[in-house]
Amino acid sequence: MTTPFDNVLVVGAGPSGLLLALMLGQHGIKVDVVEALDGLDKRPRGVAYGPAAAVVLHRANVLSKIREVGLTPDSLTWRKLDGTVMNGLTGLSKGGEESATVIHPAEDLSRIFLEEVYKQPSVTVHWSHKVISVGQNEASAWVDIEGGGRFEADFVVGCDGASSAVRKSLFGQRFDGKTWDKIIMGTNLIYDFKKFGWEDTSWIIHPEHFAVICQITQDGVWRVSYGEDPGLSREELQKRMPGKLQQILPGAPSPDKYHVLQFNPYVMHQRCAERMRVGRILLAADAAHLCNPMGGLGLTTGIADIGSLVDCFYGIYEGKVGLDILDKYDESRRNVFHTVTDVISTLNLNRVRSDSDSLLDGKDPFFALLDAAKKDPSLYKRLAEEQMKLAVDLTCFYN
């Protein structure tokens, strides 16, 4: 059977790149994935996949596998630094199998995707292949690999993260937005939060010691992501960790009361590329846009990008739509970032960095909505609808 294109080249074997390769492979489309590392990235990264992401994971036939090993949270709690509950949201697990938020470390999510990718005969993953340049003409696009070698395809998709070589090949150092004045320390640890009555996810509201804490594995590993000062070395950050955790964790524990498994500092940005399509080269997920981690909107938006991009490739491959649908991808996904992801993640971070007492005056619109929803549960539907605004169904442009 003759098809409008033959193959797609995906740069980056993180969650978004592997998910794209998997979903294209499931459709019989030939895919090559090139990754600079020699294996999966094991560093602590994102953990939360909201409804807009869960729908895409279900479509890729991997959501049930993730739920088997992951967690489906039922509640969110906002607390003062001393642990006092300020507000909360329950019933998150009632979204249904296909759309309820799921929690699972992104580093293991990639493993699940990779296992499924290896089952696709049309997909090949090339490790230790660092992209140094990207090019295109009217008929194809290609990447050149460090040490020699070139991969050519009908389309190149950059899923190669915040430092994307694909994005830089298109726009140089231009990446509009800002860098926050605090960094985040992503820490995986074991501690008995539940003896203090802490369940699922808690946000600690404080100008200096703000944090988000959630259980991320079924065997009791928790992610504690807290604010830190920029400019400190990894060694300095590690020395400060016991004091920070004593401030943040319930019970003010000394280091012998918990076990730190991993930690990694992250610079926080709010940025979006000026285009997510230039000819036959496309961008998705962190290669295209960045936001702070408060709310899990980075991962969720990135996975929603993949859902929309797959709509495009499926439609083109089946002759249902022309290449101009890729402009719809570019426009719609950047619009989602600017009007939803950027706005909500910024509000989330500003809220958690506030003086907690200032949020008790009823002026915070989100807290006001939570209070109203306790009296009128139908308002919870509005919260769910806000989450689904991260998704864009591009099949509406099919012929």
CATH of the domain at 127: 3.50.50.60
Tokens of 270: 């709010």
Residue 267: strand, helix, or coil: strand
Does residue 47 sit within a domain? yes
Average pLDDT value for residue range 139-144: 98
**Long-range pairs for 231-239: beta carbons < 8 A, 24 or more residues apart:** 234/265, 237/185, 237/263, 237/265, 238/263
How much is the average pLDDT of 356-365? 78
Confidence class for position 95, pLDDT limits 50, 70, 90 = low
Residue 255's alpha-carbon distances to 23, 251, 258, 260, 261, in angstroms, are 44, 12, 6, 9, 12
Please, which residues bridge with residue 157 across strands? 10, 282
Residue 146 lies in a domain: yes
Sign of torsion over alpha carbons 335, 337, 342, 343: positive
Residue 169 lies in a domain: yes
Render pLDDT for 257-283 as a digit per residue (tens, 0 to 9): 999 999 999 999 999 999 999 999 999
Can you tell me whether residue 285 is helix, strand or coil? helix
Tell me what pLDDT residue 1 has: 58
Q: How far is it, in rounded angstroms, from Cα 46 to Cα 52?
A: 15
Q: Which of 357, 360, 368, 364 is nearest to 207 (CA)?
A: 357
For residue 41, give every residue at least 6 positions away whose Cβ sits within 8 Å of its Cβ, in sequence order, or none: 14, 107, 110
Is 200 within the bounds of a domain? no
Q: Looking up tokens 């006001």, which residue turns up?
A: 368
For β-strands 30-34 and 123-126, DSSP reports them as: parallel
Range of the domain at 283: 7-74+100-176+270-356+376-397
Q: Is the pLDDT of residue 47 over 90?
A: yes
SS3 7: strand
340, part of any domain: yes
The average confidence (pLDDT) of the chain is 94
Classify residue 367: in a domain, yes or no. Answer: no
Summarised one tens digit per residue, pLDDT across range 214-232 is 999 999 999 999 999 999 9
Look at residue 71 in the predicted model and tell me its pLDDT. 94
Instruction: Write the Ramachandran bin of 96: left for phi over 0, alpha for psi from -120 to 50, otherwise beta.
Output: left
Longest CA–CA separation in the chain, Å: 66
- Name the nearest CA neighbour of 123 among 15, 5, 33, 1: 33
Partners of 188 in beta bridges: 223, 262
- Is the CB of residue 22 less than 8 Å from the CB of residue 120? yes
Q: Is residue 20 part of a domain?
A: yes
Q: Is the pLDDT at 85 greater than 70, yes or no?
A: yes
Is 12's pLDDT higher than 90? yes
Q: Give the count of domains, the chain.
A: 1
Please compute the mean of the pLDDT values over residues 328-346 and round it to a whole number: 98
In a domain, 32, yes or no: yes
Predicted model pTM:
0.95
